[in-house]
Amino acid sequence: MDLTHWLHTPHVEIDFRENYGTKLLVGPPGGKPRFKLEPKYLCNPHGEDQVVQFRLKYPGGCMLHNWSELLLTPLGTQPVPPLPNKLPPWGPDKEPEYAAGLDSLIAALYRNDTPLERLEAYLPLFIDHSPESRRQPTVDRVRMVYLKNAVAAPNPNLVLIVFSYYSGYQIRQNGAGSGPPGDG
């Protein structure tokens, strides 16, 4: 998998949030959630340092505590398909366009067996669901893909984050967010 875009533009700022995304992608008051991906290297058998994962970092308050040091692993074998149409530059009134334009890709990323190239991690959290769930951590599967030339804007790239809440052995809830990557 080609990771150069993640390395060149590791800063991500979230604009659009839907469903569970409105609860999990939370920024500082009045500000947007944002984070940076820091590569983790491993020396391969040829003696070369190679990026194998990314750590998620952010200034205090720019994401919820449980995102701290989240370790994302590159997975998948198929390139992410381009969107059928470019999205308009982000604005709050464009939320329906983003929801509709990203719908199929979000659906593909919800599937357990998705082959799409992505960064993936497991986010621990306590959910306000039942007395047990307030004490016993659950996990959300977080998937992140990089969309090149997806937006008709000066920065045409977009990062889409999709997560699913595990309940028992099924995934029962959806959430997504997206925003532009940058070199910070």
Partner 1 sequence: MASGRALCIGVEAESDALTFAEIARQKGFDSPLLLLGENATRAAVRGRIDELAAVSAPGDIALITFSGHGGRIRLRDRAVSREPVGLWQLYDGSLNDEQLKSDLGRFRAGVRVLVVSDNCSGGIPSLQATQLSESLSASVLVITSCRNEQYADGAGLPGHFAAVLERTWSGGAFAGAYSQFHAALCGAMPDYQKPDYYRVGPPNDAFETQRPFTI
- Residues within the interface to partner 1 (CB under 8 A): 18-20, 92-93, 95-97, 99-100, 103-104, 106-108, 110-112, 127, 129-130, 164-175
Q: How far is the CB of 112 from partner 1 (least distance, A)?
A: 7
Min dist. Cβ of residue 181 to partner 1 (A)? 24
Query: Given the complex with partner 1, which of 60 and 96 has the nearer CB atom?
Result: 96
Structure tokens at 78: 């198929």
The rounded distance, in Å, linking the Cα atoms of 62 and 158 is 19
CB of residue 97 to partner 1, shortest distance in Å: 6
Amino acid present at 169: Y
In angstroms, give the least distance from the CB of 170 to partner 1.
Answer: 3
Cβ proximity to partner 1: between 6 and 165 the closer is: 165
Identify which of residues 100 and 152 has a Cβ nearer to partner 1 in the complex: 100
Nearer to partner 1 by Cβ, of 71 and 125: the residue is: 125
Amino acid sitting at position 119: L
The Cα 135–Cα 126 span in angstroms is 7
Instruction: Name which of 38 and 103 has its Cβ closer to partner 1.
Output: 103
Could you tell me the smallest distance in angstroms from the CB atom of residue 100 to partner 1?
5
Q: How far apart are CA 153 and CA 91, in angstroms?
A: 12
